[in-house]
Structure 1
Amino acid sequence: MWNIAFAQEEKILSKAAYAEKIYLQFDRENYPAGSTIWFKSMVLNSVDHKPSQRSGVLHVDLIGPEKQLINQKLVKIVDGSGHNHFDIPKKMPPGIYKIRAYTRWNRNFGEDFIFSKYFRIFPKIPKTEKAIEHINIVDKKEGAFLEATFNPNKLDSLQKRKILVGLYLNNSKQDSLEIKANNGVYKLSYKLNEKTDYISINMLTENGFTASRSISLDENKVDLQLLPESGSLLDGTVNLLGIKALDFKGDGLYTEGLILNKNKDTITTFKTNKFGMGVTVIRPEATEEYIAKITNIDNETEYPLPEVLKNGNILSVRRTGDRVSLIASTTNKSDSLMIRISFRGIKLFDIKGPVKAGHFNTALPVHVFPYGILCFTLLNENYQPVAERLYFNDVGKKQVTIAVKTNKNEYSSREKTSLSIHVKDSTGKNIAAQISVLALAKEPLGAEQQKGNSILPYFYLTSELRGKIEHPGLYFNRDDIYRLRDIDALLLTQGWRKYKYDTTSIVFDYPEEPVLAIDGKVSGNIFNKPKEDVELSFIALGEQPVVQTYNTDSLGRFYFNVDFLNEENREIVIQSKKDGNKRNFDIAINDPESLPIIFENRQKIEKPDSTFSEIVNYEQRLQQKQLSYELAEGVTQLDEVVLEAYNMTEERKKTADLAGKPDIVIDGKDIQEKEKNWSYGLYSVLLFNFPEDIRIQRDIEEPGGALQAKVIGGAGTTILMMDGMVINNLNYSLVPNIPPSEVKSVEVIRFAKHFSRLYMQAYPFASPMEVPPTGDVIAIYTHGKQGIFGAQKPKGILRTSIKGYSPTKEFYQPDYTNQERFKSNEPDLRSVVYWQPQINIENGEPAQVSYFNPDNTEQIIVIIEAITPDGGIGYHEFTYPVIQKDIKDIPN
């Protein structure tokens, strides 16, 4: 294993070397509504890939297509890893979603070291109707016009007069306008004042229903980038020129073309690979001007090459057998040149050599360098960088191998598969490791998995380069004889300017978070001065309360370790004393400002690939089979909650007309029966007794302040109603302390109808185009209708809710050792067959894994990922056949 002396400050070229790398392994790339997103998380040192000791808490967010924060998880990290899940509601609207993961420490390094992944959620049942159709660009005398037709009645049967339409052009410019119906038809005709590549169209009906579409307006457009090897083209010198061709969505595009001089003479040709990347050789002259033209696509665009420099420097890197050749060229009068070799922001060593005829050539064995991306930097006589080149060093053998032994060569459906798994180092010795095991129906999920961002491409490639890398898994397929050529083309075209270990200034504003903790400040309530030596009593409420004490320091600061919180939220009480007496001090908990949400609208452009379409069709066929079985067996679907003896009062009718009928009803008597002597209001009772329906948490926008309620299993945004009326958000802080005795019921409405209109009533100053398209409602009914104004905040005491670690759940798999279950006619249609995120291998002993095969596939692909204590990373996949048998033909 490559060892780097991280403590030697003089070797650190970039503070990014102190960052952590965060990786999430998912069970699949895209998800049907109603399924579960399973993920394993790894937090490793950036430099040596050893499990990080800086962070024990990982923050994972699920973000919707309208930049709404749908759900958050706190994942406990032990020895660099943890795992958790997101449950996707059946009613979740289809579209592009995002998951991001970060540690508090990694916020110091900006977006570069925040993990993110975009994925699709698609409906299990096909939906063919579209509310926005016939989107076209029409050329008229007055100019180019964007035209579209809207069918709001497909969403909103009560829509009558006008709709609100929002336009986002090229992810930046936005406009909104009202469209009235003309003979029942809603049409948009919008003049485009500038060249627009793609557009997002959002529609809002009178009753709050929304729809959106994102399309490319020029699907024939090609973005051809021409990138000299180390940043510049140098006169009279052999230059390597990287070629990168992207389609309208930013995906790689195969192209062929020519490089022409100003007389249109062909200088050279080029050809890209399937990822849109290629390399050509050119010897340019400073007196010439060059352009590139694409020849295999109907495209008349001319793409100018960068200016050819009369004076300058270039650095070229080549693999020659088992050696790395370095060729530095300069027009300066220098006796010698220096090349610096660095690795993930750490200087390895410098090479200095004589210049002959403007060139300095040298070569080194590949084994003197670590495995992964190297940065070669050409320095001038003042030790300033004048040229740089990224290069991937493949040492030719795996650092870590995974050996798997199966108990059979082939299996039958519902038969148990047993695996014995060893992890070995480069010498073949069994070693300790932590592994995950994932088994999938190979068709069609296998093809999606093999192209994705698995552990090897992520830690050795994606995590170190800015920008999108298409199908990164394919670069690590050792059966592909062109993979090293392709990975070199990637690094040449991705460019050293996109290397994350550059010299960008980094300020350490965020401390490490090795354990889950809260900290804050105590101050006087009149002059707001910090209060020293205040005795604080901390109580984490619950069935087994936890008590701690702390005395504030000279700046009034306090700290409590809450690493024991293994639930989503926990109610706490902090009380202050001074000289043995209770005091009326202000107690505030520090909370870092929320992380801004970045969502690339180009991701939403409608261009599903063939693999994705196959997966959607596959999942929908499975769903149809399941429904057919349930209909034949008389199984009742329970998608809707049947509310027995529901008294439709006037207030409830108002709510039902505005938001819909409730999914959950919590009777006031149940709330009152569960009230404890330490309870202080409605939210404290809901927090501990109804956590599967409502989450109670502290409002991060108001440190130490009010609690907020959020619906579990909903759309992500929750508003409050009381006695049939929407509550203004300015009054939300009054709700938590409503006496339980005043409550008749608390009701949950998931995916409420007319939600956008309700949201505008709750947040009257919100921009109409930033209103969430879907959301949930918590409706509270009281006896006297005035409890919201009776809440008082106690003095000298802080009662609030804090987030704990998100509970994990076990992956379900059937057990066919039960013969009745084995012979059941109920189809086993699992696409994700098995998932075990954390298995520890110790003392070289093999891991033993077993599971049962489903009915719906003829091949299973198994993916195993491993991390060792000293930073070794391993990946292994294999496939085995499954014979499908008629269950009725299997003997006892």
Structure 2
Amino acid sequence: MKRTSIYISSLVIIFLFSAFQKSSIENSAFEHIFSKLATYIFNGGPEKVYLQTDKDFYTNGETIWFKAYLLDGITHYKSSKSKVIYVELVDKKDSIITHKKIYVDDFAAGDIKINNKIKQGTYLLRSYTKYMLNKKEPVFFQKEIPIWTQNIFSNELSKNIPTQKENILIEQKTIEPNFQFFPEGGDLVYGIKSVIGIKVTDSIGSGIALQGKIVDQDNNMVVPFRSYSFGLGSTSFTPEATKKYYASTIVNNIEKRFPLPNPISKGYVLTIENKGDYINIQAKTNIPNGLNGTLLLGHLRGITFLKHIEKSNQKKSFSIKLMSKDIEDGVAQFTLFTSNGEPVCERLVFIDHPDNDTKLSINTTKKEYNTRDKVAIEMELTDAKGNFLDGDFSMSVVTSNNLKKESKTIKSWLLLNSDIGGTISNANYFFKDNTNATKYLLDALMLTHGWRRFVWKNLLNDSIIKKQPFIPEKGIMINGQTTAFKNRHQPKKTDVTISILEKGIYQEKKTTNLQGKFSFGPFIFQDSVKGVIQVSTLDKEKEKEISIYIKNNLPKITTNYPWKKPEQYPISYAQEYLKETYRKKVNDFKYDPQVTMLEEVTIEAKKKTKKEIINEKINSLTIYGSPDNRLFVDSIPGTESASIFDLLRRVSGVRILGSFPNQTIQIRGASSLSLTTDPLFLIDGNEVPGNAIQGMLANEVMFIDVLKGAATAMYGSRGSNGVIALYTSTNGALGFNTNVERYPGVTNFEIKGFSKIREFYVPNYNSPKPEHKKQDYRTTLHWEPNIKLKGKDNSVVNFYTGDNLGEYLIKVEGITTDGRVVNSTYNFNVINN
């Protein structure tokens, strides 16, 4: 009950704090701080998504099984906002390979079938809600997924297996380092001893381990320093008035000096030492009477656990000893405010107290099993004091070669990475053990990480508490707009009726707003449903003047890629894993009764393809002839509901900048002669402004031409940034009849429903069947996405081993009903008796 009591007491503090001494200027400023904090918790609080996958490596033709956890970003309880999440597999070109829309009921799970013809490489598995798009820098769940390709006909394993990276650190002798310095609290202040965090990286952001010294402008040594794993380190010294300081190190036998931030003459310093069981906090200033009336505020994801108003008139420092067992695990944020409410110092501290730990016991009846033997797993969940806990969990059972040693976990993501920007490539490293070295690096990470989800200056200036364009989704919405039939850009207010024709007829009537916009839903259905939307008016002539357009509801986002750093997947893992999957592929092919192996043949044809015929005709009719790039919409599967921006992402040389709805387009290779970088846009040969294409859908376009070379010359300076020419499906300017018509006053639609949850196949070897003659080489032995633990009732999961020998790993992750993260592993072996 500790979490609940802390949460409630924090809210009480927020609302009652404004009652204290309202007449004073200091407290009115603090009242503003607490009211903004309360608004953030109730109106602006974030959501978080975490995905557990059955394993970390995959090959073509396999299935990615996943469980999705959608949580309140403050309490880590189940989210009460959204009911819809999106899961996507994305390649390095930001192209969506697979898109899943998942409805979150009691739990959410799904799968992604990897195409047999997928290109080998590293892909990004990401997940998010639309509500997350309200943030200026949204933090989506992202996980790198290496996918190798195998061809059973070539009788060989996948080629181009990554080579092993022995160490993430780079030798300082060969790499020019980049230094970043982070004074604890914010500033170096003359005359006050300060800790300074140091981060040393190479040009692509990989950490560099090196040693050096801090020197003054006369090259006098002040203090030595070292950076360690991830290039992290720290040191401390007292800056002297008028002096400047540098970090000095040796690179290629030459001394290099890097300037530290200039100390300020008057200011504040906040020093915090995390001792494990308690936290020492010390605030200092060299400003006379500068600490009088200051507020030291501590919160974790918005929940307040410390408020201290300093009443001393003379002291230039004050100290607080805070017991960390009273704070929940995660990134705690300490801020020092002046008496007028200005934040002047800030420090992040990671709390990971043993009293907050959970213990998930995983037990099997034995440690060694025969092939095709029955395994029964029992689980029991308690807190640090042995009290039973309730929770929601998922479990994968895989060969030990299927998981990376530093695999992302629910703890590293929810408690660390998701709250400081999701940019730590190996956040689980900081939880691998409880040594002093790991604690030192974690604290150095807190010192040097500039991004955090919660920024006081933004909060106090109302820049993050405002009307949010993306409301939490509760189901499938069918949105659209009514316009003049002959002018799509002229909205018309009218009444519209929706009729859904699946599983009985559903009808609903609404009046659009002044912009002609309408919205129906939320609906909850699987598969695709068909329906009709029509104008509802007694005047049939008016219906002929109106068009109805269905809006594409898919969110448009830009991926924050972690791929600028080299991939680091040990070859030893890849080789063993690929041997297992290759054997399974060959065996599945051999026993598949639907497959007949044929000799490879080559068919030659002289007949021109449809694309060649169309290209010839188009090139003869367009004024510029052949373009630099041409994209035929009907040649791209799955673009029925895509926007023009989604299509243009696929065109070589075209960059989409920004996030929806504020997106711009640039064409690489174009030489700008104007003040802007916008290309010239044409629709059916007519010049249009750039924003005219933002609302267009793929089904309105037949093909897109991109010009960026000499062909743009005929458009003069207007085409200096390149030309994007769109030809609509309904236009006959080029002599093509696509048989696509729009009808006044009515439109039909087909909406894709939520993805179905497939059941993981579990063979039962207790009852012999003919198919059991086939050898069982499963690499994912079992996947169980819906495990409920409640009190003393043990959860039991049963499955059978296969024919693969060796070590297997049981990995269980989940969240308790009071928001505590849980992850645990257990090993057993399969032997051949």
- State the Cα deviation string for residues 823-875 of structure 1 (Å, max 9, x = none): 857361x3333222222334653222122334445222211112233323222
State whether structure 2 residue 222 is matched by structure 1 residue 267.
Answer: yes
* Residues 8-27 of structure 1 mapped to structure 2, 5 A cutoff: 10-13=34-37, 15=40, 17-27=44-54
Corresponding residue for residue 397 of structure 1: 355
Query: Shift of the alpha carbon at 1:100?
Result: 2.7
Which residue pairs with 1:572 in the alignment? Answer: 531
Mapped pair 1:112 → 2:141: no
Q: TM-score, normalised by structure 2?
A: 0.73
Distance in 1, matches of 2:248 and 2:59, equals 42
Match of 1:487 in 2: 442
Question: Amino acid of the residue matched to residue 519 of structure 1?
Answer: N
Amino acid paired to 1:834: H
One-letter amino acid of the counterpart of residue 518, structure 1: I
Mapped to 2, the partners of 1:604 and 1:795 lie a distance apart of 51
Shift of 1:342: 2.2
What's the CA shift for 1:231? 1.8
SS at 1:845 equivalent: coil
Change (3 A) 1:629 1:27: closer
- Shift of residue 460, structure 1, vs aligned partner: 0.9
Give the equivalent residue in structure 2 for 1:46.
73
Give the Å deviation of 1:292: 2.0
Classify the secondary structure of the residue corresponding to 1:307. Answer: coil
- Mapping 1:758-797, distance limit 5 Å: 762-765=703-706, 788-797=737-746
Could you tell me which residue of structure 1 aligns to residue 258 of structure 2?
A: 303
The CA distance in 1 between the partners of 2:698 and 2:452, in whole Å, is 49
Residue aligning to 1:519? 479
Task: Confirm or deny: 8 A CA contact 2:214 2:224 kept in the other structure.
Answer: yes
Report 1:357-376 matches (<5 A).
358-376=316-334
Distance 1:433 1:734 in 2: 43
Q: Residues of 2 paired with 1:431 and 1:389: CA distance? A: 33
How much does 1:522 deviate? 4.0
Q: Distance in 2 between matches of 1:378 and 1:129?
A: 53
Output the CA distance in 1 between the equivalents of 2:204 and 2:567: 11
1:595 and 1:434, CA in 2 relative to 1: closer, same or farther beyond 3 A? Answer: same
Query: Structure 1 pair 596/517, CA: closer, same or farther in 2 (3 Å)?
Result: closer
Cα contact 1:734–1:791 (8 A) shared by 2: no
The one-letter code of the counterpart of 1:494 is: H
Partner SS for 1:456: helix
Distance of 2:160 and 2:761 partners within structure 1: 34
- Distance in 2 (alpha carbons) for counterparts of 1:766 and 1:400: 60
Deviation readout 1:174-211 (Å, 9 max, x if unpaired): xxxxxxxxxxxxxxxxxxxxxxxxxxxxxxxxxxxxxx
Evaluate the alpha carbon distance shift between residue 766 and residue 483 of structure 1 in structure 2; reply closer, same or farther with a 3 A threshold.
farther
Say which of 787, 790, 798 aligns to 1:850. 798
Indicate the residue corresponding to 2:86 in structure 1. Answer: 59
State the 1:272 CA deviation: 3.0
Which residue identity is paired with 2:705? P
Secondary structure of the 2:136 match is helix
**May I ask how many residue pairs the two structures share in their alignment?**
696
Q: Where do residues 623-638 of structure 1 align in structure 2 (5 Å cutoff)?
A: 623-626=581-584
Task: Evaluate the alpha carbon distance shift between residue 475 and residue 546 of structure 1 in structure 2; reply closer, same or farther with a 3 A threshold.
Answer: farther
Counterpart contact for 1:84–1:808, Cα < 8 Å:
yes
CA-CA distance at 1:411 after TM superposition: 1.9
SS at match of 1:451: coil
Q: Secondary structure at the match of 1:864?
A: strand
Q: Distance in 2 between matches of 1:640 and 1:58?
A: 43
* Distance apart, 1:282 and its partner CA: 1.8
Quick one: which amino acid aligns to residue 862 of structure 1? I
Which residue of 237, 240, 243 corresponds with 1:288? 243
The 5 A counterparts of 1:315-714 are 315-320=270-275, 322-334=277-289, 336=292, 337-353=294-310, 354=312, 358-442=316-400, 444-446=401-403, 448=404, 450-466=405-421, 468-495=423-450, 497-504=451-458, 505-506=463-464, 507=466, 508-522=468-482, 525=485, 528=490, 530-532=492-494, 534=495, 536-541=497-502, 544-552=503-511, 555=514, 558-561=518-521, 563-567=523-527, 569-579=528-538, 583-584=543-544, 585-591=546-552, 594-600=555-561, 603-604=563-564, 607-609=566-568, 611-626=569-584, 650=607, 695=638, 697-701=640-644
CA contact (8 A) 2:639 2:698 kept: no
Counterpart Cα distance in 2 of 1:281 and 1:835: 50
SS in 1 for 2:185: coil
Q: Write the distance in 2 (CA, Å) between the matches of 1:441 and 1:332.
A: 62
* Partner residue of 2:189 out of 210, 234, 253: 234
Unaligned runs of 5+ in 1: 131-215, 659-682, 687-692, 711-727, 738-758, 769-785
Structure 1 residue 65: deviation in Å?
Answer: 1.3
Seen in structure 2, the aligned counterparts of structure 1 residues 113 and 634 have a Cα distance that, compared at 3 Å, is: closer
**Is the contact made by 1:255 and 1:296 (CA closer than 8 Å) also made in structure 2?**
no
8 Å CA contact 1:325–1:363 kept in 2: the answer is yes
Deviation digits for residues 194-230 of structure 1 (CA, Å, limit 9, x no counterpart): xxxxxxxxxxxxxxxxxxxxxx9x9723333222111
**Distance of 2:380 and 2:314 partners within structure 1:** 53
For residue 104 of structure 1, report the CA deviation from its aligned partner: 1.7
> Deviations 1:606-633 (Å, cap 9, x if unpaired)?
x332x43223322333355457768999
Instruction: Report the AA paired with residue 850 of structure 1.
Output: N
CA 1:357–1:639 in 2, change beyond 3 Å: closer, same or farther? farther
Shift of 1:332: 0.7
State the Cα distance separating 1:280 from its structure 2 match.
Answer: 1.7
Please, which runs of 5 or more residues in structure 2 have no aligned partner? 16-33, 151-155, 162-170, 616-632, 651-681, 686-695, 710-734
Structure 2 residue 108 is matched with structure 1 residue 82: yes
- Provide the rounded CA distance (Å) in 1 between the counterparts of 2:390 and 2:158: 49
Does structure 2 conserve the Cα–Cα contact (< 8 Å) formed by 1:522 and 1:552? no
Return closer, same or farther for 1:882/1:278 CA change in 2, 3 Å cut-off: farther
Shift of 1:58: 0.8
Hey, what does 2:692 align to over in structure 1? none
Deviation at 1:389, TM superposition (A): 0.4
Kept in 2, the 8 Å contact 1:400–1:426? The answer is yes
Question: What's the TM-score, normalizing by structure 1?
Answer: 0.69
**1:406-443, CA deviations, whole angstroms, 9 ceiling, x for partnerless residues?**
1223223332221122333454333332110012222x
- 3-state SS of paired residue (1:698): coil
Per-residue displacement from partner, 1:777-796 (whole Å, max 9, x unpaired)?
xxxxxxxxx99443322222
SS at match of 1:301: strand
What are the Cα deviations for residues 240-285 of structure 1, in whole angstroms up to 9, with x where unaligned?
A: 1212222443233333332233333332222333332222222222
> Structure 1 residue 93 and structure 2 residue 52: aligned?
no
State whether residues 452 and 472 of structure 1, in contact with CA within 8 Å, keep that contact through their aligned partners in structure 2: no
CA separation of 1:439 and 1:512: change in aligned 2, threshold 3 A: same
- Contact 2:3 2:818 survives alignment (8 Å): no
Q: How far apart are the structure 2 equivalents of 1:35 and 1:253?
A: 37
How much identity, in percent, do the aligned residues show?
A: 23
Distance 1:826 1:234, change over 3 A: same
Conservation of the 8 A alpha-carbon contact between 1:234 and 1:284? yes
2:813 matched to which residue of 1? 865
Distance 1:399 1:263 in 2: 51
CA contact (8 A) 1:328 1:360 kept: yes
1:475 aligned counterpart, secondary structure: helix
CA distance, structure 2, for counterparts of residue 702 and residue 589 of structure 1: 17
Q: Does 1:278 align with 2:233?
A: yes
Matched residue SS, 1:621? helix
User: Could you tell me how far 1:364 is from its partner in structure 2?
Assistant: 1.9
Q: Residues 466, 647 of structure 1: CA spacing in aligned structure 2 closer, same or farther, 3 A cutoff?
A: closer
CA contact (8 A) 1:56 1:516 kept: no
Shift of 1:52: 0.9
Taking a change above 3 Å as real, the CA distance of residues 91 and 312 of structure 1, as seen in their structure-2 partners, is same
Q: Is the 8 A contact 1:327 1:362 kept in 2?
A: yes
CA RMSD of aligned residues (A): 4.3
